[in-house]
Amino acid sequence: MTRKLYILNGSNLNMLGAREPHIYGTTTLKDIEQNCLALAEDLKFDCAFRQTNSESQLIEWIQEAFLQDAALIINPAGFSFGRIPVLDAVKLIRRTVVELHITNIHRRSEEYRHSTISVAATAVICGAGANGYLLAIRAVDDLWGGER
């Protein structure tokens, strides 16, 4: 059986490395993707890594992950806050869901503190920087088969 993993990234994450490096660091999304794909391959995952600035595209990919019976790592970025359609799509996922944020959203201003996606997540990783992606992949690997 092939273990499938989708790593989906929301709005503005394509600008990592250039956008507010004092907050998000200088690592680019391409750097993160390369590291994720290498670790996923080592752990025997068939991995799709994607980014979009479109909420509808993100929902389509989450639904695709559901149809593929994949685990999901999602950095919803701005789609975290009050985006019920994204939450409803995430609720479809039967396997592990790890919500990921590069920064510690709980230390940020009020509008960044309460992710609607968290209620559907198996685990939430925030504040570990770009390394959070690798932690999330390892969490999915550890939790595979023992999903909710």
- List residues with catalytic annotation: 24, 101
Q: Tell me: is residue 53 an annotated ligand-binding position.
A: no
Q: Tell me: is residue 73 an annotated ligand-binding position.
A: no
Sheet with 97-101, side-by-side order of all strands: 45-51, 3-9, 71-75, 97-101, 123-126
Q: Tell me: is residue 27 an annotated ligand-binding position.
A: no
Q: Tell me: is residue 46 an annotated ligand-binding position.
A: no
Over its C-alpha atoms, the chain yields an Rg (Å, rounded) of 14
| Cα–Cα distance for residue pair 120/91, rounded to 1 Å | 6
Annotated binding site for substrate: 75, 88, 102-103
Which residues participate in the annotated binding site?
A: 75, 88, 102-103
